[in-house]
Amino acid sequence: MSGEEPPAQLQEKKPEGGGPPPAPQGSDSSPAPEEPRSCRALVLTGYGGYDKVRLQVKTMEAPQLKPGELLVRVKACGLNFAELLARQGLYELLPEPPVTMGMEASGTIQALGEDVKDRKVGDRVIALSQSGMWQELVVVPAERTFPMPEEMSFEEGAALPINYMTAYMMLFEMANLRPGKSVLVHMATIGTKLPNSK
């Protein structure tokens, strides 16, 4: 393990004089502010080999979700060809290092922003983003998440979006493959093999 040191434990500040802590301000129903939480992430620290991808521990403030956003706890994340290019500095859509990579992941919803009507806390979802999925907690727009069937594993869900959808679009949108037509596949990786074999 390398990179940033894990955040120090937060120390509770005691009032002077050793008395009990002051009562919280405001109404009794107000939720106490959440303490910062630690979150592991795989960070691309510079362009080059695998030694440039480091496991780091970040300190995250409690996310303030905007309307339409979700907080997802990532259970599995995908690796695709674009990220291999990005590690070498050959994919211009990725922000410059240091950056947390990851375009696809699967996990469970931890919190909902306003106006999210078709998701609930605990739902299993596949999530997409331009980057940032290689960490334990991510904030994503609800419209970039997709419910997972109960029989699908998190690993399957994380491997599905980019590779599978790319192959599907190439076959059925660009090549216009239709019933009665055939296609010759010279070689395929597992991500592109599945839609081709249907």
Q: What is the pLDDT of residues 136-168, one digit of tens each?
A: 999 999 999 999 999 999 999 998 888 888 888
pTM above 0.75, yes or no: no
- For the record, the structure tokens of 91 come out as 């994919």
> Which position has the higher pLDDT, 35 or 16?
35
Given the structure tokens 């999210």, which residue do they identify? 116
Show the CA angle centred on residue 80, arms to residues 75 and 82, nearest 5°.
130
**Contact (Cβ atoms closer than 8 angstroms) between residue 127 and residue 85:** no
The Cα–Cα gap between 122 and 68 comes to 17
Alpha helices in 44-125 (DSSP H): 81-87
**Backbone phi and psi for residue 146, each to the nearest 5 degrees, phi listed first:** -140, 130
**Contact (Cβ atoms closer than 8 angstroms) between residue 64 and residue 33:** no
The per-residue pLDDT for range 48-96, each reduced to its tens digit, is 998 999 999 988 788 889 999 999 999 999 998 889 999 999 998 888 9
In this structure, which amino acid lies at residue 107? G
Mean pLDDT, all residues of the chain: 81
98 cis-preceded (ω within 30 degrees of 0): yes
In this structure, which amino acid lies at residue 58? K
